[in-house]
Chain A
């Protein structure tokens, strides 16, 4: 039974799900077929049991009107304060999520899961109660709630068909499926009707008439069946889960993947619900796809909204959604399906009139013909990605002017006709008119060009076909001419209209792509937040004419309250509240969204993989004019680009820090190894020599004793120099070196250096040449002295014994150049560049001692003086190191004595 072994990925997923569930609150749904079956009663009874067990339970919301038996159950339970809303003059009460989360009970009881919240002008709220409940669950609080089967999203259509009553308040199936417990509250239809008659079911007065139809026995039986079946499905699903978990069966869910085609038509929603049901039954993942077509841009705003809503519905029902670029719809869908390993495609039944099929094959036929091994399911409703009714709409550019030009063009053609008529046959004038039609259609689109066609035919008839000045036609043959002229004109209109549209659509796409490309490129070049934010705002403003601002939270992820933000003084406390909500939840809010639709601006999160880095606030110039869906798409993309730029900044800073840390670490290691080697070597001599003197000193000749003592002295001095260098470097690095600049002659510093090094310079005669008339230089004598000592020590180290060392100084422009040159081996190009780096030792430095700090100290000191230091090979062999010291102005005058 090796096959029965659970897939490790599946196991991991299950563990993760369990963990997520453990953190999330548990949802218990009291599920019923219809109002009045006793869900609230059952829920409250269960609640009382829990309280008796000592569970911390509060009532978040219950219907204010209940029958007395139910009302009695509430007594003695803790009631959370409810949110009071002044809605058009009447006071409404809603669940107060914030209060519930603040109270942090174990369980909150919330009646009527499907309820729609009254829009509240003052606080950030969800439009649906189930979203409130979701928040409670996210906060780790358990929820008891009630739900009727008719409110389930996927059963919405079925029930509307059965009962004739369309329920607007729906709850996504996903929430129902993910409920931890569903308790079916069942009552046979006869008993329910009995209770209804006895007035035991509360029905609001205004709804009484509607409900009379609803509470018919047939309906109730059907609803009960649906409720029972749905519960049974759930039990079945749980059973399967259990089997999967404990590896009971070898049958593992196949990797089913569904694709459903979505269009803007209302019936497309039904197809989506159908697909959701199939997907849930198959436990398949599914994706809802819309193919952009040339018709999309001609689609009205209403259709656009429907399309967006349909896609949102699919997402809500658990689908992934995708919009495919324009092209051949069938090809695009099949390409996408193969890429995603989809094995079933679901489309709606075509409902175009029969005659249209003569001209154009329905989408479904073509899809079924070319789908290959993918199954295609056709379910009722319309899934044609092209809108079914192709009403002729004027192209975007057409307007009244276009029609005027149509008339003018026809008049012009008629004029040309009159001029040329004596020379040509009348039929040739048809061509002139058609030319006019082409011109109009190219310029003004379909509408005006149709008008031009009709007018052309009429004008041609009236002016050029005998009998003149009348519509009458003497020769029947001309009727044929008119017909052909009309048909040709209309076809031209239609074709050029379409070409125009395609060009326009391509142009818009192109422009959009170019805008996004330009934006991403520009953002990529920026290095600070202060640059990114205004640039992003400017770029977004280029495509959308609205007041917009990018809000970035402070370090505690809070937005400043009113007035504190200098950038956006008109931001109110409420605006900040909405922005905060968007930042915390990473979802869109405000104008045109589900959450707080009443706001006067739309708020987009700036999302990154990990979190939301800020909020884009867009306030249309026309108050309360929601954004078009293509604008929303574009804004979301631009928000993402901005977020990525800001995040990139964050990471590049982090990378820089990491690089610095590595560099510091590397330096520390170099330092340690340098210290351990270069400080221990002299110490070894000192310890060795002195211990010899201590142990066997008496037996040594005075000469040997002296040699040992001299070795100790010499190594001690060397140690002293190296420690001094290390200390200097540390102080220079820390920037704790204060420059004591004084005007002084270089000669004096050189003098000190030569006398300091006189012992080491025994074998290296120094040829000093300081050009006469060198000015006094503003410098820190001690530091420049250190520089010269280090340079000379290097020259001593690498220059062959007996060969001289040259020490030169001369003026060059407004600087004095000091040069120390030896007759040693010199350095290869690469080393000459790097030799000033800390702890860098040239390859030929093997066998020489030193930490590798000397030249790096020189560089730091020279840089402090505003000069530069560099190394060159001498033409005759040997290395020459030069540094410049700027002499900015003439030294202060010296009063002469004589």
Chain B
């Protein structure tokens, strides 16, 4: 296994479990990422400040400082993408962390494919925000969004969306591969003062699926993250 390239993304892993760190180390190094490890939240903050990583993988249950606390401190001075690791059944914590600025989450136990997909999506979204020229056409599978012409195609068939449906789809496409919470979507699509509730969003997602999915009961593009929000697949 050769040393990772000097310009490959640098990932900071803040996780107290040595076994999980080892598993992350093996798989991330194999993918050519550079790696920094931290066992505690306090050390993690120091590492984040001194090494300026391109992405942080943060466990919510740390022995010294609460993971949420670490996240908030990092967000105080950096917009580096953060992926949260948490146990199942803590959907509230996940939503909380996502709303507080985390970019995505993984539920333990998770497979390596899932992990790598999240990392790629988060890095891509970060690059876009950093001003890299965004593509005018978003394409995944048969779904194609022409952002310039404001057209949506599934295969060769153009789908006519309402303005709100289109807006919803483009917000999701902008963060393709990353999860967006109900709250984030409501805010982005309907504006920061929207008083609408989650069921309102669900109705629009349902309508959107009717138009872009072959079988809306088995969505292929617009996935539900139960209890958290929605994700548009990126690959």
Contacts and interface: CB of A to CB of B under 8 A. Distances in A.
A489 to B, nearest CB: 99
A744 B226 CA distance: 11
Interface residues of A, number: 31
A744 B164 contact: no
Contacts of A743: 199, 202
B202 A776 contact: yes
A781 B202 CA distance: 12
Contacts, number: 67
B219 interface: yes
A894 B200 CA distance: 6
Contacts of A751: 216-219, 223-224
Given A747-B217, A751-B218, A898-B162, A785 B206 contact: no
A123 interface: no
A892 B88 contact: no
Contacts of A635: none
B10 to A, nearest CB: 29
B227 A740 contact: yes
A216 B203 CA distance: 119
Interface string A721-757: 0001001000100000000101111011111101100
A164 interface: no
30 contacts: A716-B109, A717-B109, A720-B109, A724-B88, A727-B89, A740-B227, A742-B202, A744-B198, A744-B202, A745-B206, A747-B217, A748-B202, A748-B205, A748-B206, A748-B224, A751-B218, A754-B217, A754-B218, A768-B217, A776-B202, A781-B227, A782-B227, A785-B226, A892-B199, A894-B199, A894-B200, A894-B203, A897-B162, A897-B163, A898-B162
Q: Top 3 nearest A-B pairs by Cβ distance?
A: A743-B199, A782-B227, A752-B224
Which secondary structure dominates where chain A touches chain B? helix
A871 B105 CA distance: 38
Given A742-B202, A776-B203, 5 more contacts: A717-B109, A742-B197, A745-B206, A751-B223, A897-B162
A891 B197 CA distance: 12
Bin the interface of chain B by size.
Answer: 20 to 34
Given A716-B109, A755-B223, A782-B227, A897 B164 contact: yes
Given A742-B199, A754-B218, A894-B200, A747 B206 contact: yes
A770 interface: yes
Contacts of B223: 751-752, 755
A475 B91 CA distance: 123
A742 B226 CA distance: 12
A891 B199 contact: yes
B63 to A, nearest CB: 22
Nearest to B206: A745
Contacts of A724: 88-89
Nearest to A719: B109
Contacts of B198: 742, 744
Nearest to A807: B217
Contacts of B202: 742-745, 748, 776
Interface in B205-226: 205-206, 216-219, 223-224, 226
Given A745-B206, A782-B227, A892-B199, A770 B109 contact: no
A740 B89 CA distance: 13
Interface string B77-109: 000000000001101000000000000000001
Contacts of A768: 217-218
Interface in A765-788: 768, 770, 776, 781-782, 785
B86 to A, nearest CB: 14
Contacts of B199: 742-744, 776, 891-892, 894
